[in-house]
Amino acid sequence: MNKEVSRRSFLKKAGIGTAALAAAPTIVSGSSREQKFLLDRVYDLKEFSNNDQIQLGLIGSGIQGIYDTTAALKVSGVKLVAVCDLYDGRLDRAKELWGSDLFTTRDYRKLLERKDIDAVIVATPDHWHQKIAIDAMKASKAVYCEKPMVQNFDEGHAIIKAQKETGLICQVGSQGMASLGIEKAKQLYEEGAIGEIVMLDMYNDRYSAEGAWQYPIPPDANPNTIDFDTFLGNAPRSPFELKRFFRWRNYQDYGTGVAGDLFVHAFSTLNHVISSHGPNRALATGGLRYWNDGRDVPDVTITLYDYPKTETHAAFNAAFRINFIAGSGGAGGFRLIGTEGEMEIGQNAVTLKRSKLGMVPGGYSMVAYTEAMQEKIKEEYAAKNLVSRASSLETGTTTWEAPRDYMGGHYDHFYNFFQAIRGKGNIIQDATFGLRAAGAALLANESYFKKQPVNWDPKEMQLI
């Protein structure tokens, strides 16, 4: 995108062109702070008959599976009919939440055999995603697969192939992708609001045992109430261990560490906003600093990514920082920084800050010259007219916030999924998009454990 054309486009659409500047300079002055509401979505809220419900099955009724299903059932015309999990207590919880008439099973294949199920949510540990997603599509079920789509680089192409061969829908579950905030950020970026992107700064600080994946273990958990052998799947054999089952994110055998849990959301957002295939290089460092509970993944990491120049963005760098023992108390952020401004992006809000670029020397660099020379230098810079009145006024901070009654990004992602199943639009995050997001995230693990930079082909989606 031509830089000057995109800049003019943004200024015009934002209402801060030359005429607006002359008429209302205080609105866009450097000291301005403006708040606006994002335009709410218009949903198809028609009521569906019992014969026209999308019948849903849940595979993996853990924490995320419950949150996913709760969001999915808010969408009109969706009914949950079956739940699968390997711990009996979760099957009991499913009936407690959604009705005693639910079909429940430990064997996901029995769920897929049911002819009355149209779509499934796959919310299992990461090492089961590929097999269950492919089996589900082969069983003629649409698939909503939790992120990361795959545990390993070489698993993704098989899911893409299954999606193409079956013609079925496979939506990956980075739920913020469909939110009002990210939609607005994409619009602002494409209009040139931050100029050319230079850097992404993403961080996630946590300060709790729960935030570090030390999830509670129920007292009735034992070999009789848990199918541990099935849980292991294609992972290395291991003796029965409750921590591995309930805190699987802590182990490379079943999860993908902070990269798969947290980086994937950021890459999904970033790649969508700037229309990118992803980075081509990563360098990671970090360590296990505090949570020495048997886990074999780091709890503090910093990963630097290189994005190559493409038709939709300049070459830039991205910094991903995770701290699971942040004494500050915890926080998070996602900032796109460009040559003309920056955006702080969230699902429910976007804050755009445009600043004035300092082009004229100040007291710091002038101190080495005589008073007479300083005057001559000032005259030379004034003659160059490097700072126009317009550039001085095209600054300030604007925040767009979602309406109070906004249904949220999680709802929007499922609404998008079910509308696509009904033939009313396309999904936002298909298997190809999912592999590009997961692959970029997994580069962090590859670099961290190899202790060296790693290269990636974002177009072909493979390690180099």
At 332-342, the pLDDT tens digits run 999 999 999 99
CA dist 420 and 414 (Å) reads 10
Q: Residues 6 or more apart from 298 whose CB is under 8 A from it?
A: 257, 258, 286, 287, 288, 289, 448
Vertex 82 angle, CA 77 and 85, to 5° = 135
Does the N-terminal peptide bond of residue 239 adopt cis geometry, omega within 30 degrees of 0?
A: no
Helices and strands (H, E) in the chain, number of each type: 17, 17
CA-wise closest residue to 123 among 139, 107, 143, 145: 145
Percent of the chain topping pLDDT 70:
92
CA-wise closest residue to 45 among 407, 404, 401: 407
Percent of the chain topping pLDDT 90:
83
Q: Residues 6 or more apart from 158 whose CB is under 8 A from it?
A: 130, 134
How do residues 274-332 score in pLDDT, each as one tens digit?
A: 999 999 999 999 999 999 999 999 999 999 999 999 999 999 999 999 999 999 999 99
Q: Which of 15-29, 35-49, 416-430 has the highest mean pLDDT?
A: 416-430
How do residues 334-382 score in pLDDT, each as one tens digit?
A: 999 999 999 999 999 999 999 888 888 888 999 999 999 999 999 998 8
Residue 33 has pLDDT above 70, yes or no: yes
Taking the model in full, what pTM does it have?
A: 0.91
* Measured CA distances, 222 to 219, 226, 242 (Å): 8, 6, 8
In this prediction, residues 167-180 reach a mean pLDDT of: 92
- pLDDT, residue 224, reads 98
CA dist 339 and 360 (Å) reads 17
Residue 26 has pLDDT above 50, yes or no: no
- pLDDT, residue 429, reads 95
β-partners of residue 83 are 58, 104
How do residues 144-159 score in pLDDT, each as one tens digit?
A: 999 999 999 999 999 9
Q: Residues 6 or more apart from 254 whose CB is under 8 A from it?
A: 125, 126, 127, 151, 231, 235, 244, 248
If pLDDT is split at 50, 70 and 90, which confidence band does 10 have?
Answer: low
In this prediction, residues 179-184 reach a mean pLDDT of: 96
Give me the domains of the chain, ranges plus CATH numbers: 32-41+178-355+395-463 (3.30.360.10)
β-partners of residue 121 are 58, 144
Strands 197-205 and 316-323, sheet pairing: parallel
CA dist 33 and 167 (Å) reads 48
Which of the 8 DSSP states describes residue 203? Answer: E
